[in-house]
Structure 1
């Protein structure tokens, strides 16, 4: 009998929390943290073990720490669940797309570290030049939320729908004044809840154009390869196998919306994945998958105790 058709999914910025690396510090895969520190020239171990909430909230720190921890967890997951070495598909939410690319073999670990470090730095600088904010909106369809944002843009506001996370959850992004106006529009349209996200930038909007332009140089330095499985991209929710598509997809991702609900449908319906494994801090993506593809099994691995148990070798069998 064949095993489950795994989709490995990786969370993005916002999943990080202080001390998130401590449960993994004694694992054999912790050496990846040391390697990431050498490649990036950053104190990655310090970010994962000792950084407080304020330090981790900074965009470049959050992205690098989250990515590297996901790589540590992935390595340990593959020791416990060999099928995770050849998944049916991978995908990641925003920053998590870089972990998905490494997991699929499209880029190597060192190049993944370099890309994430460059992306985080470019986005941090763009936030300083053009501050912004984001807010989660619950209870509206994607069409209703886009209508609210479009009405504010028609009146000169700079606000966009940055994430389409589930059939009834989206994220607004833009400058603070326009996001505030759009929140009021969303409430009038029937939103059940709106929650501010503590970030300093308008991620996944045209306001991130300076970051995308700065990041292009880093993308040109990386050799993308054909992976072991397709990676479902944020910007179009399509499964991509061609290596040469990724520089453009990743540049567009900086300024374009994350179409996560559609990506989940692609993995569940088109690629026939029957188990989603969330690799990284938290369990946000498995929660979103439950709303979008409820029939698919889900597993979140954020700590060693959540790793699947390794089956014992039957007596008399070959090791």
Structure 2
């Protein structure tokens, strides 16, 4: 029997109309939209289906992405029950993975990711926080550059290792901008500030760790049914206690997505990405010869079901 890793996307995968085909074609999806709206007192249909500027605010982006991932996963289980050998995600996606593997009730999961986003926004308010994508520089060279910049008082950290030659930095926009020409001098093909006002996966989020730990304690209900691979440490875990520690650590540590694929690639036959778009499939193409199937709408659901 083939072994699959279930993978879940993070911020940046959102788009207007996400989840709409599921909503229109599955009673399960309609019910989950209603339950989600009730849980966080936000009209999720309005947020996802209309041109709503709130969709790009992290406290709304995170529950939107989680909701569509949750629906996509449950539709697969309804159509073709399948247990993964393990699950993980990109940033928020790791939280989604743990919740979806029975680590929390759905409504509590919605509250958790909504408040996670609100806490991240609060920590970065007035801090000139931002992120920059760098393409074409070796990881080690970029890490050494950031260490030197930090010694010179700059707030610049490696935050996401997305794929060969693509790393996202976090820090203050002014420091990231000031480093741009030096990063290009290292051989970067691209060093581009992203349109966001949070600095994820770096020490700028340390002020919210205590509050986030309490949030995890409140909303996680127990152990996961599937081993989850940690973004921060590359260890697998299943208990609520480990989830509390590792999901907190993840907020202030880089997302080791590339390293995650390289670590587990020989143990699986393929990957199934649940949620809007195909961001992780795009990253995986550069990292693995194994197929990545996506479940983001009716067409991709049909294609994936045919391949399983």
- The root-mean-square deviation of aligned C-alpha atoms, in Å, is 1.7
Structure 1, 222-231 or 187-196: larger mean CA deviation? 222-231
After TM superposition, the structure 1 = structure 2 runs for residues 251-270 of structure 1, keeping only pairs within 5 Å, are 251-269=248-266
* Alignment partner of 1:273 is 2:272: no
Kindly indicate whether residue 133 of structure 2 is the aligned counterpart of residue 139 of structure 1.
no
1:17 paired residue number: 15
Partner of 1:78: 77
The aligned counterpart of 1:159 is 156
Match status 1:58 vs 2:57: yes
Q: Secondary structure at the match of 1:287?
A: helix
Alpha-carbon contact 1:237-1:260 (below 8 Å) kept: no
Cα deviations by residue, 1:133-155 (Å, 9 ceiling, x for unpaired):
11111111211111221221121
Question: How many Å separate the matches in 1 of 2:11 and 2:84?
Answer: 23
How many angstroms apart in 1 are the aligned matches of 2:13 and 2:115? 20
The answer as to 2:229 corresponding to 1:235 is: no
Range with bigger deviation, 255-264 or 237-246:
237-246
Unaligned 5+ residue runs, structure 1?
Answer: 312-319
Alignment gaps of 5+ in structure 2? none
Mapped to 1, the partners of 2:97 and 2:290 lie a distance apart of 19
Measure the CA separation in 2 of the matches of 1:120 and 1:306. 28
Question: For residue 186 of structure 1, what is the aligned residue in structure 2?
Answer: 183
Q: How many residues align structurally?
A: 303
SS at match of 2:125: helix
* 1:223 Cα deviation after fit: 4.0
Aligned partner of 2:301 in structure 1 is: 307
Q: What's the offset of the Cα at 1:161?
A: 0.4
In the aligned structure 2, how far is the partner of 1:203 from the partner of 1:210?
12
8 Å Cα contact 2:19/2:296 also seen in 1: no
Q: Distance in 1 between matches of 2:18 and 2:96?
A: 17
Whole-angstrom distance in 1 between the partners of 2:207 and 2:90: 21
Corresponding residue number in structure 1 for 2:4 = 6
Alignment partner of 1:292: what SS?
A: coil
Q: Is the 8 A contact 2:99 2:220 kept in 1?
A: no
Q: Distance in 1 between matches of 2:138 and 2:64?
A: 33
2:44 equivalent in structure 1: 44
Residues 250 and 188 (structure 1), Cα distance of their counterparts in 2 relative to 1, 3 Å cut: same
Residues 242 and 205 (structure 1 numbering): CA distance in 2 closer, same or farther, change over 3 Å? same
Q: How many angstroms apart in 2 are the aligned matches of 1:77 and 1:140?
A: 38
Matching of residue 171 in structure 1 with residue 168 in structure 2: yes
Q: Give TM-score, length-normalised by structure 2.
A: 0.93
Q: Secondary structure at the match of 2:131?
A: strand
- Displacement, 1:88? 0.8
Cα deviation digits, residues 102-125 of structure 1 (max 9, x gap): 232222322211210110111121
Q: Check conservation: 2:19, 2:276, Cα contact below 8 A.
A: no
1:97–1:234 CA contact under 8 A, matched in 2? yes
Q: Counterpart of 2:286 in 1: which secondary structure? A: helix
Runs of 4+ in 1 over 3 A off after TM superposition: 308-311
How far the C-alpha of 1:41 sits from its partner, in A, is: 1.9
